[in-house]
């Protein structure tokens, strides 16, 4: 009798565990509901949108070049210069790839010591690439992080963002891009898991009937540059109603790579110095200043500085304004709608989306920030509870 009672209690306890587990994992709907029985869309936390939560506003100048980034050798008197500049909005994404291409050009000249001009993401990546090949490198720069243009970037994987004028695309550039893009992607994936310098995050693109006012269509450029062999990056998925966390019929989801800029830039600089590199503060106003350097081989990573220094008339600034809200560590997704996006980073929830051609003004515009706040608020209103 006791054994039967003990068996009954065990079975009852197991049944209780089972029903408790089901209750914790399943969403139930009222009888007669026409909705799907299971609600599969993720419960996403909301961005706390308020002017009072803004901690900083910045305007960065993207070094856009009409025919795309310049990665080429130039003989200048007794100096050999490897150019690596003009990446537009793709500087972070292509940094390791174009650094590799510039280093390969320099290797052909058999140098021993090399000077790198510029200490942004292109300059530091090029310097580290050269060090890894065994060269002694000195960086000459007028500013260091955080007072460099690279510190004002969005910090996401965007290898075709304002890369070049689509009318100037050539087969030679496409081949160069494909090599640099693949190399950069592989390099970034090797950095995963190190202090969250590089991370993956879900990205939601909420489509509206009204098209974006941005005249630069990087989607068409992407289609021209990426071949069928370049399928290494996860593609986007159109969400069905059960998967869609937003009250909008057309929403795409895709994983995207995020760069934690403060930690990343500090790592590059520290690694460069630990490997024996030197950083010297120096301003270059004319070519004679370059000629006076003790090194014969130089990597030019000056971005927009090459407009004045080397007379590259293809260069122009494309300004981009950002606003940062108080960090929200619980946010693990980004979203965009109507030309406005938000991206949670460790240094704040970043809001952005604009680009003004040939604009040198780095003063934040209050109306642009208001547009960002309104755009993100609208996204949060459409977020399912």
Residue 171, Cβ density class (10 Å: 0-12 exposed, 13-18 middle, ≥19 buried): exposed
Residue 62 has pLDDT above 80, yes or no: yes
CA 18 to chain CA centroid, nearest Å:
45
Q: Which residues pair with 279 in a beta bridge?
A: 139
Residues in the chain, overall count: 385
Q: What is the DSSP string of 104-163?
A: HHHHTT--SEEEEE--SHHHHHHHHHHHHTT-EEEEEES--TTSSGGGGS--B--TTTT-
Q: Which residues pair with 260 in a beta bridge?
A: none
Give the pLDDT of residue 290: 96
Q: What is the DSSP string of 305-362?
A: HHHHHS--TTEEEEEEEEEEEPP-TT--EEEEETTEEEEEETTEEEEE---EET----
CA 140 to chain CA centroid, nearest Å:
25
Residue 254 has pLDDT above 60, yes or no: yes
Start-to-end C-alpha separation, the chain? 52
Closest Cα to residue 374, out of 323, 319, 334?
323
Q: Supply the Cα-derived Rg of the chain in whole angstroms.
A: 25
Give the pLDDT of residue 218: 56
Give the pLDDT of residue 223: 85
In contact, 118 and 138? CB cutoff 8 Å:
no
Residue 6 has pLDDT above 60, yes or no: no
Residue 60 has pLDDT above 80, yes or no: yes
CA-CA distance, 63 to 160, in Å (whole number)?
A: 13
CA-CA distance, 198 to 287, in Å (whole number)?
A: 37
Q: Which residues in 198-222 are b (16+ Cβ under 10 Å) and which e? A: bbebebbbbbeeeeeeeebebeebe
Closest Cα to residue 67, out of 170, 161, 160?
170
Give the pLDDT of residue 220: 74
Neighbours of 292 (CB within 10 A): 9
Give the pLDDT of residue 42: 79
Backbone dihedral angles phi then psi of residue 320, each to the nearest 5 degrees: -140, 120
Dihedral over Cα of 232, 379, 150, 173: its sign: positive
- pLDDT tens for residues 255-274? 999 999 999 999 999 999 99
Give the pLDDT of residue 40: 64
Query: pLDDT category, 385, cuts 50, 70, 90?
Result: confident
- Find tokens 């909705």 and name the residue: 35
- pLDDT tens for residues 201-242? 999 999 965 444 444 555 678 888 998 888 888 889 999 999
Give the pLDDT of residue 324: 98
Give the pLDDT of residue 25: 39
Instruction: Write down the pTM of the prediction.
Output: 0.87
In contact, 92 and 265? CB cutoff 8 Å:
no
Closest Cα to residue 122, out of 257, 268, 260?
268
- pLDDT tens for residues 7-42? 544 444 444 434 333 333 333 333 343 333 334 677
- pLDDT tens for residues 274-318? 999 999 999 999 999 999 999 999 999 999 999 999 999 999 999
- pLDDT tens for residues 336-360? 999 999 999 999 999 999 999 999 9
Question: Does residue 226 have a cis bond before it (omega within 30 degrees)?
Answer: no
């Amino acid at each position: 009798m006791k054994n039967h009672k003990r068996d009954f209690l065990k079975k009852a306890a197991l049944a209780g565990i089972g029903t408790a587990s089901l209750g914790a994992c399943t969403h139930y709907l009222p009888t007669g509901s026409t909705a799907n029985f299971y609600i599969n869309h993720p419960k996403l936390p909301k961005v706390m949108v308020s002017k009072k939560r803004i901690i900083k506003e910045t305007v960065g100048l993207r070094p856009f070049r009409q025919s795309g980034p310049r990665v080429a050798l130039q003989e200048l008197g007794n100096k050999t210069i490897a150019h690596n500049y003009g990446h537009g909005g793709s500087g972070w994404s292509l940094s390791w790839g174009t650094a590799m291409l510039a280093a390969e050009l320099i290797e052909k000249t058999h140098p021993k010591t090399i000077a790198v001009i510029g200490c942004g993401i292109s300059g530091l990546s090029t310097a580290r690439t050269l060090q890894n090949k065994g060269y002694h490198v000195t960086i000459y720069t007028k500013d260091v992080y955080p007072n460099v243009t690279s510190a004002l970037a969005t910090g996401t994987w965007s290898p075709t963002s304002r890369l070049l004028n689509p009318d100037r695309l050539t087969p030679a550039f496409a081949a160069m891009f494909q090599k640099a893009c693949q190399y950069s992607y592989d390099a970034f994936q090797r950095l995963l898991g190190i202090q969250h310098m590089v991370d993956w995050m879900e990205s939601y693109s909420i489509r509206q009937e009204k098209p974006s006012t941005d005249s630069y269509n990087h989607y068409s450029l992407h289609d021209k540059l990426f071949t069928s062999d370049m399928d290494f990056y996860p593609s986007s998925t159109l969400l069905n109603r059960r998967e869609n966390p937003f009250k909008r019929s057309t929403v795409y989801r895709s994983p995207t790579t995020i760069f934690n800029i403060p930690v990343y830039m500090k790592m590059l600089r520290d690694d460069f110095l630990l490997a024996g590199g030197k950083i010297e503060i120096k301003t270059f106003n004319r070519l004679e200043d370059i000629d006076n350097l003790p090194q014969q081989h130089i990597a030019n990573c000056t971005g927009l500085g090459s407009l004045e220094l080397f007379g590259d008339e293809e260069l122009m600034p494309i300004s981009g304004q950002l606003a940062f809200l108080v960090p929200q560590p619980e946010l693990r997704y980004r979203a965009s709608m109507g030309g406005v996006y938000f991206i949670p980073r460790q240094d704040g929830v970043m809001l952005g989306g604009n680009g003004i051609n040939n604009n040198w003004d780095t003063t934040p515009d209050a109306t642009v920030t208001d547009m960002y706040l309104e755009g993100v608020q609208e996204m949060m209103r459409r977020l399912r509870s």
